[in-house]
Amino acid sequence: MHTSTRRRQDAMPTQPQRFSHLLKPLQCTQQDDANLRELAETLVTHNIEQFHALELGKNGAPADKSRWKEVRKKEGTKVFRERATKREPLEMPSLMLLGTVVGSLEDFMYAVVAPSTEAMRIKSALIKDGIVDCKVLHEVAIPVVDDPFHHVSVRWRLFSDPELRDHVCLDSTGIATSANGERIGYHLSHSIGFEQVPSFASDGVTRGNMSVCSLYVQNTVSTVQVYVRGFFDFNNTGKNEIVSNAALNAIAVNWMSFPRKIDYGQVKKLLWTMHKSSNRESIMSLTSEEGKFKPNMMPPTPGLCKVCTKSFGFLGTSRKSCKICNEQICARCSVEKTVAMLSPNRISVLEKKRAFCVQCISDVVRTDALPHSSTMVIANNATLEQQDPEIFNLIEAEKNRQWKCLELIASENFTSRAVMDCLGSCLTNKYAEGLPNARYYGGNEVIDKIEILCQQRALTAYGLDAEKWGVNVQPYSGSPANFAVYTGLLRPHDRIMGLDLPSGGHLTHGFYTYSKAEKTRKAVSATSVYFESLPYRVSAETGLIDFEKLAEQAALFKPAMIVCGGSAYPRDWDYAAFRKIADDNGALLMCDMAHYSGLVVTKEHASPFDYCDIVTTTTHKSLRGPRAGMIFFRRDERGFEPRINNAVFPALQGGPHEHQIAGIAAQLKEVQTPEFKAYVQQLKANAKILAKTLTDKGYSMCTGGTDNHLILWDLRPQGVTGSKLEKLCDMVCITLNKNAVLGDRSALTPGGVRVGTPALTSRGFKEAEFVKVAEFLDRAVKLCIDIQNASGKKLVDFVKGAEAHEGVKQLRRDVNALATSFEMPGFNMPSLNAIAGLLPQLEISVQEENMLVELTETLTQHNLAQCSTVLVTKDGYADSRAWKELRRKDSIRVYKERPRSKAMPTTPSLLLLGSMKGNLDDVMYAIVAPTEQSMKIKSNCTHDGVIDRKVLHDIVRPSVGDPFRHVSINWSLYADADPRDYICIEATGITHTLHGERVGFHLQHSVAFSQIPSFSDPHGVERGNRSICSLYRETTAGEVECYVRGFFDFQDGYNELLSNISLHAIANQWLSFSRQIEFAHMKKLVWRLRRNSSDSDDFIMAAAVEEHKRKMSEAALNREVTCRVCHKTFGLLDRKTTCKSCEQAVCPRCRIKKRVCVLAPDQRTVLEKRRSFCAPCIAEVATSNARAIAQEELQLQEEDQDRAMKLSEESVVSLSRQRTTSWMTTNASYRSCI
């Protein structure tokens, strides 16, 4: 009875699931992750500082005994509860744990880290920390081999003592190094709020808040000092002290689990050692194994204990088996340890006591936890990035290549994320030899359903009757599909006729070459090895299939099979003509529609099913699925089905790739949608415009054009081979393939290229983009001709000449710029405006900051002096002898400096002169942008060419006393001529001349920091240098004079052509200076709206007028309304508008529409709308004092920061219950309970 009871308890789950199955993974952006990482680092740093500042007595307890009361004690650890004092009243319950634990820091961290929900459950079961349910909701940073203890995530935990209470926390673990080199392990759990995480209050669960940070320091060689500080808000209504005390006591009891973490670390190492010895499952089996012994295959000393070598007598010491080494041991030499694992349901935790020999236990205890942890990262469901960084980086490089390139290979396409999910699924694990419901392996119930569904969708997609047609979806690709048809339906050396390769056919349709050296015919494909093939050709005059010649050849050759379809034939197929010739000669008719199957399925191409006996296809070209094949066959008295099925398996292939078949099924569902039909129509239109544009440029298209998705381009009139154009296009990130054309002497030196539109159409390219593609191809051919004329016709010399050609480099830049402006199907690539997230914050000393401020002052004074030396005409224009005008807008003119000497290259320089209507304060209010958000809005409104930006380090912030003074180090990215970024020290402010004149300035001067990475590879962003100084002075009332001087180094080796292109792009950007006053007025308008509206940006950007009408009283809506400006009374049919500023009615004549811009809640997207205002409000805004508004903005910001700082201090010191509702950041996706 005792034994059976023990067995039932042994297998009983220790941790029932309660609510975790109701929680979905969090959806967080990259910015959210960055904010979470920053929050974790800030809190850990703060706790380390608090730890070092803590005063301890001689016994290791807090020195201030009046403040800390000991409430629990176990082994070398003590738990203290904070008490209120007269000086510091206690606002929130707080606990602290102090003590030492025997072990090493790595062992402790090995136990602390639990990177998955399963690991959390096992850990909680063994250390008994009070958690009854848990789940990892989102991973921010995962452990890697080089740093296996670092993990940042968002987690949910449920506690049951004294009542059900859950927490949603930001969790962070790792080992930090202090300034003096001390290694400190940490574990942070800090409550944050996500709207995505539901409340379980209706189930009696209280959502609590806590901030707990545990720190671990290697005190001696064998001991670890432990410090834990926690603050708690139990959200108990009415501040019930009894409930709080009970909850605190429960937490204190749970904290007694800290000494058990070393034991848990040893158990983890035991489990991992058993896992590596493939013994884990047998050890954790649910049946008791006490008293049983399974001897080794060859025990070293039968009947003797491994450790003490004593023999086992008939009535002597009971024998046991060590669960690691599997050797027999006696009871005295065995050690029992509780081990745990998840049950098959992945929820319940099974605990067992198992025996180990003392030698194995000793070895496990002494092993270093760091290698263990690194190995576990690799083996336990590690990502590819963790397990094999080399392959991961190569795949990322290929993603980047595809993103930056123009993919024009007709047989390639970009499949969907859904198909990729199938290809990377668990289906790749399963063998399924045979056909559905007739497999040679078991466990294929689900696999059969998938394959049958794929067959059904294939027949439905092509409109086929399942009684008349069948389909095999197992071929690995198109070539095996074709060969399976040949071997299944033909005998060896039967005759086949297919389209000749130079005419647009495929190798699998039969092709021979002749070797002059060996004086023998060579069969290029297996089709020509095992069967006799006679290719038919296209007409030399039209490029179309010569059916008259085909009929004549077929009558003589008497083929057993005629193959129609090809891989480089740009016209539709006359299947009726093929059917007649096949019938006249008793031949089977097979169609290989691999290239245009996507056109057939959408009825944008003639269908072969009405005429052919067999139809084969691949699934990854115009069909846009995975790389696989299908064979369609008629079901009739000829019995094609069993012969083809047997030819596929077992004759040709092994087990089918069911992950591919699932991908085919997923794609066959997509091809039946209206969106896919629109895609196919677009790719045909793109092919036609591409062919027409190239033809208009004087190039020769085989057959004169195209009816499908590809063109065959004959380059022989230009004297260029397809191989050379393919090589050069590879260099400029255009991928196409050389292709034989009719009349070529050898397929090895083809005279043309094949160009297709499916892939780029999948990326969203339309006719306008393909006109640009045609222009790129035209430039590529002209470059080929120039390089060939200079280097000769040898391909090796041609490649060397192309690599050094500047035109090739520029074409590559242009191609990259077009390609990266479109998204990638199936996977995400960081667009150029996402690079800022890869930049670190600069760490510079105070001395360096002072030097940079001094540099800005020196450069500003220098530019003030240089301003008066510029040669200017009486009209205020630059002297044309020194300056060439490039751009003008309103009263702004941009000039380029003329070279002073032809012998010496000069640094490219631009000059802007002009004036703006307004005052100096308005201009400076527009220029100052101290944050990334304000910079983003400014760029959007002024169109200054900046597509991404980041403040790397603030040196001098604007203040209420000097609101226009700002010094910072900024990164900015431009992408007009080609992607180029700058790292600059930027300074703005107002200075005074010797005569007391106020002069506004804006300096941007390039500086270099080793901490800032280059983005030249893989993003193609060149790092430039510049020094620009803008000066503004108020000459007369209502007018500001502008002077801007800029010097540029584009890092292009003084290439005059590239420098001119870049300078013209910058000159265009400089025209944004004329919009500064307009932008200042818009900023003032937005500020006024924010002050007048409690709904802030949401109110400003509200699209519906009804939202505003609700704010007006019913009386105001019902009474007769007059225009605020002209006082005209509105009739029933008159249109009236409400001014967004004063909220009064205005008529259309007195209404002025103005553009307003604010940031969306994601803090990245700029929302832009045109809103109606009355003329008096616009006039008031235009004349309002910009300096006073800037000061008011800063004053409110300081007040908000003070409140946030106070709130932050309260969170770290005493997560106040009263302030819980205001624990919210500006980030829209989560609330930080600080």
Residue numbers annotated as active site = 431, 433, 592, 618, 621, 627
At residue 424, φ and ψ (nearest 5 deg) are: -100, 25
Where do the DSSP E strands lie in 1058-1182? Answer: 1137-1138, 1145-1146, 1151-1159, 1166-1174
Tokens of 476: 């690995």
Q: Give the DSSP letter string of 134-175.
A: EEEEEEEE--BTTBTT-EEEEEEEEE-SSS-EEEEEEEEEEE
Tokens of 512: 């021979």
By the 10 Å C-beta count (0-12 exposed, 13-18 middle, 19+ buried), 1047 is classed as middle
Strand bridging mode 1166-1174 / 1151-1159: antiparallel
Helix, strand, or coil (residue 1159): strand
Contact (Cβ atoms closer than 8 angstroms) between residue 606 and residue 573: yes
Length, in residues, of the chain: 1234
Rounded alpha-carbon distances, angstroms, from residue 815 to 67, 417, 728, 729, 809: 69, 25, 13, 10, 10
The string over 458-478, giving b where at least 16 C-beta atoms fall within 10 Å of a residue's C-beta and e elsewhere, is bbebbebeeeebbbbbbbbbb
Tokens of 974: 């431009």
Residue whose entry in the numeric block shows the structure tokens 């003490």: 308
Which neighbouring-strand residues pair with 514? 521
Taking CA 503 as the corner, what is the angle to CA 497 and CA 506, rounded to the nearest 5 degrees? Answer: 60
Q: Which DSSP letter does residue 366 get?
A: H
Residue whose entry in the numeric block shows the structure tokens 């596929």: 648
What CA–CA distance (Å, rounded) separates 1012 from 814?
26
Contact (Cβ atoms closer than 8 angstroms) between residue 790 and residue 711: no
Contact (Cβ atoms closer than 8 angstroms) between residue 592 and residue 475: no
Q: How many helices (H) and strands (E) does the chain have?
A: 36, 46
What CA–CA distance (Å, rounded) separates 839 from 950?
8
Rounded alpha-carbon distances, angstroms, from residue 687 to 448, 692, 1130: 40, 9, 57
Tokens of 1224: 């919210």
At residue 974, φ and ψ (nearest 5 deg) are: -120, 150
CA-wise closest residue to 277 among 149, 364, 349: 364
Rounded alpha-carbon distances, angstroms, from residue 405 to 392, 713, 728, 730, 734: 20, 20, 13, 9, 6
Question: How many other CB atoms are found less than 10 A from the CB of residue 1137?
Answer: 19
At residue 985, φ and ψ (nearest 5 deg) are: -85, 120
Q: Which helix (H) or strand (E) holds 913?
A: strand 909-917
Cα dihedral 270, 271, 275, 278 in deg (nearest 10): 70
At residue 1156, φ and ψ (nearest 5 deg) are: -125, 145
Q: Which DSSP letter does residue 648 get?
A: I
Which neighbouring-strand residues pair with 70? 80
Taking CA 1007 as the corner, what is the angle to CA 1001 and CA 1012, rounded to the nearest 5 degrees? Answer: 130
Taking CA 606 as the corner, what is the angle to CA 604 and CA 611, rounded to the nearest 5 degrees? Answer: 150
Q: How do the residues of the chain divide into helix, strand and coil, expressed in percent and rounded to 5?
A: 40, 25, 35
Residue whose entry in the numeric block shows the structure tokens 């958000």: 933
Q: Which DSSP letter does residue 1012 get?
A: S
